[in-house]
A = this chain, B = another copy of it.
Amino acid sequence: MDTAGRHVIAELWGCKADTLNDLQGIERGMVTAALESGAEVREVAFHKFAPQGVSGVVIISESHLTIHSFPEHGYASIDVYTCGDRIDPNVACDFITKALGATRRESVELPRGVGPIAVGQQKIEVLS
């Protein structure tokens, strides 16, 4: 496999607190996001923190999706990293953004595995 990949990093704000604290819902949403983008799911690991918050990862054949949620701040940090050119990581990122009901998204896309990391232009989107 070629080393080239795309890595989308997104900060989601204004998400619903209940949604951000729902371990099973988040896990289901992240796996569905991976599948919707056309990725092949390999491993899934999620963790619920006390008193609140969820962290989790979906390892896909093409790399990974991660999430860390902070219900008390309506915030979730998202990474979608896909190797190869078959899958657009933005498809999964958009799916997660909608599933969490985010009203604002800050994101950047980085190329991976192709030499020095030329970070793309930042996007700031008001979604509500």
Contact residues of A with B, CB < 8 Å? Answer: 1, 3, 5, 7, 9, 11, 42-47, 49, 53, 55-57, 59, 61, 63-64, 66, 68, 70, 73, 75, 77, 79, 81, 83, 106-108, 110, 112-113, 115-117, 119, 122, 124
Contacts and interface: CB of A to CB of B under 8 A. Distances in A.
Contacts of A55: 42-43, 59, 63-64
A61 B42 contact: no
Contacts of A64: 55, 57, 66, 68
A77 B45 contact: no
B47 A77 contact: no
Nearest to A79: B79
B47 A59 contact: yes
B3 A112 contact: no
A122 B116 contact: yes
A111 to B, nearest CB: 10
A83 B3 CA distance: 28
Contacts of A116: 106, 122, 124
